[in-house]
Amino acid sequence: MFQLTGQVAVVTGAGSGIGQAIARLFAKQGARVAVLDLDPNAAAATAESIRSADGHADPFTCDVADAGHVADVFARIDAARGRIDVLVNNAGIVHIGTVEQTSEADLDRLYRVNVKGVFLCVRAAVPIMRRQGGGVILNLASIASLIGLTDRFAYSMSKGAVLTMTRSIAVDYMKDNIRCNCVCPARVHTPFVDQYLAQYYPGREREMFDKLSAYQPIGRMGTAEEVAVLALYLCSSEASFITGQAYPIDGGVLVA
């Protein structure tokens, strides 16, 4: 079960965190993974870690918000592999602040990566998937797509858009055998969390880490590997009856 043997999977933002965990797990399950990241060194490191575990991976430097860059990278993947079976839109950025604390530049920056980036990658992948008779798209949304979060105005805006894009894509391409779902994590412990705490709470990292962890009623943050397992299920043939859905992975936040 949950095998991706011989499939070509594109994972954006795969240089670290959740994207890296998804890339590694998909490769372990037999996929040939295209590792996309804005940081070429991070993409190369993830691909090398996959290859060192006898998996198949190729690194690509990609700015998901640049239309020409996205088109070029997806064309190169298609030329090399002849298909794209799975697209995971994981690349994203965050912003902390209310509407009053959000500048026009902040909003544009979040939109450019989190919304336009998903649009551009889906637009590049769908014609390839239609040509080959189907495929799977998985978008990384957030519980911010589903509930209001304090001080996350711009981020919530962008992730709400990811949710509605997911449902539109699912409806538009169901007859083309293209499924599209999204996952909605609560807080997940990634290198970004550690960097954020070091930057904004120097000397209080442990205190704030515990506070952020306690937000999840289950008592801890999620792990990137746990999100990757859910992603694997939704991208596998075992989930072939599922499309247009948002899957929370939130440690009980939505039911508390």
Active site residue 173: no
Pairing verdict, β 246-249 and 56-61 = unpaired
Provide the token pair at 17: 């965190």
Helical axes 116-132 vs 153-172, angle rounded to 10°: 20
Q: Which of 155, 200, 215, 233 is catalytic?
A: 155
Three-point CA angle 192, 246, 236, nearest 5°:
90
- Tell which residue, 247, 120, 229, 225, has the closest CA to residue 179: 247
Six-digit token pair at 63?
Answer: 């700015």
Number of Cβ within a 10 Å radius of residue 73: 22
Buried b (16+ CB within 10 A) or exposed e, 217-247: eeeebbebebbbebbbbbbbeebeeebeebb
Q: Are 208 and 201 in contact (CB under 8 A)?
A: yes
Angle at 135 between CA 130 and CA 141, to 5 degrees: 120
Shortest CA distance to 89 belongs to which of 69, 107, 53, 65? Answer: 65
Residues annotated catalytic, as ranges: 155
